[in-house]
Amino acid sequence: MRPGPIPILQIGGVLIAAIQGELSDSVAERFQRDVLTRIESTGCAGLMLEISALELVDTYVARVLADTARMARLMGTTTVVAGMRPEIAATLVQMGYDLDGIEAALDADHGLELLRARTGGGR
């Protein structure tokens, strides 16, 4: 499988996906498939979705991000969403997404610290 439009890096037992631009529906779907496939193939204990560059979120993209984190949790992977801008947080709340069970961090550094603490440093 060729790499998707959003790179997914592995550092130890953690996968890191930094979303660097707006997500179309097709890119969001491909991203979700790529993340879940990488979790399956690597057995990573942690996933960080770094979204500080994301400026807009529509209902579909919000659902895909929330569902991706929930699916990762069902696969035994702890997810942290890092770098959420205030506008994105407000939009998600207004849309009714509570992201229960998904950790949040102000930035990528804190996200990695949180994942390492939650996963014991990875598998």
Architecture of domain 8-119: 2-Layer Sandwich (3.30)
The ranges assigned to domains in the chain are: 8-119
52-104 pLDDT tens trace: 988 888 888 888 888 999 999 999 999 999 999 898 888 888 888 777 778 89
In sequence order, the β-bridge partners of residue 88 are none
CA 86, 17, 13 angle in degrees (round to 5)? 120
The verdict on pTM exceeding 0.85 is: yes
Tell me how long the chain is.
123
20-33 pLDDT tens trace: 888 888 899 999 99
- Tell which residue, 33, 119, 53, 32, has the closest CA to residue 80: 119
Backbone angles phi, psi at 24, to 5 degrees: -75, 165
Asked if 5 contacts 31 with a C-beta cutoff of 8 angstroms, the reply is yes
